[in-house]
Structure 1
Amino acid sequence: MGLHVENVHTSTRDRYKCTLCDYAAKFVGSIKRHIVIAHTRNFAYKCETCGKGYSMKQELEIHKKTSHQHVRYECKNCGKVFKSEAYLRIHSRSHDPNHVEEVFTCEVCSSVLRSLGGYKRHMKRHNGELASYVCDICGKSITTLEGFKEHKKRHSGERNHLCVTCGKNFINRQALIIHTRVHTKERPFKCLICSKRFTQKTSLNIHMKYHTGERPFECASCSKKFVTKTLLKYHKCSG
């Protein structure tokens, strides 16, 4: 009877907690099922601090910002602090006397590349395998012929893709598809944090940076950081 009262009538909420996240349950079996479902799948992105996995990089960044923002990864040898365990591991190699970092030196220009893939891409530029198409109007270099043709259309004003709803013309089919969503009200790209929707993936990617706090574009004069290159350019003009 006492066991029945303890199991049924005593509040057992939060009795069992997941060691990998904040999930809690009444029964240990529920925790085991949760771990199998939530933490043993092959996620593309995994938190180095707690092991929690995510299918999108933006989800992982938000998790680290909200759950581990005060975590410090300090080198025991020199005291230098890093923002992730992965960066700390890479740095720790510099203190290992037996570690030899493999580098690849270009025989043509003496540039040093830190990966074989980077070295191969670099050599293709010397060998002419990566063609460069230079615009005779603005001097911009384009690496692909298709991209070069699209770029030239911007100067010529060529618009071959017509919107049947409003009659507006566009440079390419993709631009037309994005435009038609203005008429159809289609917003296929949804933010997983605030549920806001967007007509194109680039807009969603920019929006996600506001959630993660990512500001990759920095002003060389005042060190202020911005979400997009356009905002940085506007800052320079207004400043």
Structure 2
Amino acid sequence: MRPDLLITSDSDLDVALEEFKQKKARRDSIGPKYTCSIGNCEASFKRLDQLDRHEFHHTGIKKHACPYEGCDKTYSILTHLKRHQRSTHDRTAAPQKTIKCTLPECSKMFTSACNMQRHVREAHEAPREYACTHCTAKFRQKMKLRRHVIQQHTQEYPHRCEKCGRGFYQQWQQESHQRSCKLYECADCEQKFDKWSLFTKHCRETLHGRGGERHKCEHCSCSYEKASALDKHLATKHSTTVATFACTEPGCNRSYSYERNLRQHVVTVHTGRRFECLAAGCGRCFSSAQNLSKHLLRDHNTKEQPTGTTEAEAAAATEAAEVATVKTTRKRRRDAGQSTRSQLAKLSCLVLDKSMDKAVRQRQTEALTSVAQELQQQQELMEDLLSDA
């Protein structure tokens, strides 16, 4: 009954009784009062905050915005918005956390007794845990459990992109992604890529697309990414001219299309230094000490004297291996770390010759006395100039 309603007649009494019956019927009602308005969903709820939470899972949009100017806070539930207004805009002073948790081992502070009691109930007495039905994982929040089940087990996302099929938890994430989603389809194998870098990498590795057609050999099935590589292939494999780089050593009729190959042949076969592996039963030869060292480490896994060899042969093999592995270091300068100019000369702005500056760095008495006299003369000259001015 409203306080401002005055009962002066039977009609007024009937009105008051009718209002009381309506309130009582609404309070005792057990049926749902709020129905979901999204699509073909027919879910209904008794409380408005339950409906708000349900529709937020549909759309992902927080429809309750703060009405105060300059505040851009939005909430998915109306009660959360009212709590924000009470704690942020309606308070005259900042809330102070003066109430401590009742458990001695907990040092958390709260602004009100109800917040402290909620903390004790949820964190200490009966903490909520949502267990996964597919594995042994447990979570404190239902949303984290839902995401875990979808991501790790079912892969049944409530929203998916129509172009690439990527899944999302909320509708606003799908709409934001779909506006910028672009697929790159390969014309040769019909594979689709959501990034240009992945598409170009695929074409480069498989020689699909325009790159393979542009640099394809006319005489065979070879294809190249660059035109220079195709030119080298044509000159080497399909050229009708005789090779221009022939070996001039007596009895050798080898010829090459590239000069670098001829130089390598001469160094390796004719004039190059030979490094022979002295391990028992090996007998391999190499054109450089580095290659011999790699061979010893890779095939024999040792730098020691191989069995069945003389001391001289073992010394030669060890020397060849050490030549390949020893790193040369630059010799350190004698004056490394020393200043090229003394600190006294820098601070006093004096220009000293090399011998005098070295004597000052070594703290020689004569040099320090000479510098002190020169500084005193400069100071007297400066005082005279100031007095004349």
TM-score (norm 2): 0.21
Q: Which has the higher helix share?
A: 2
Greater relative contact order (CA < 8 Å, ≥ 6 in sequence)? 1
Higher Rg of the two aligned structures: 2
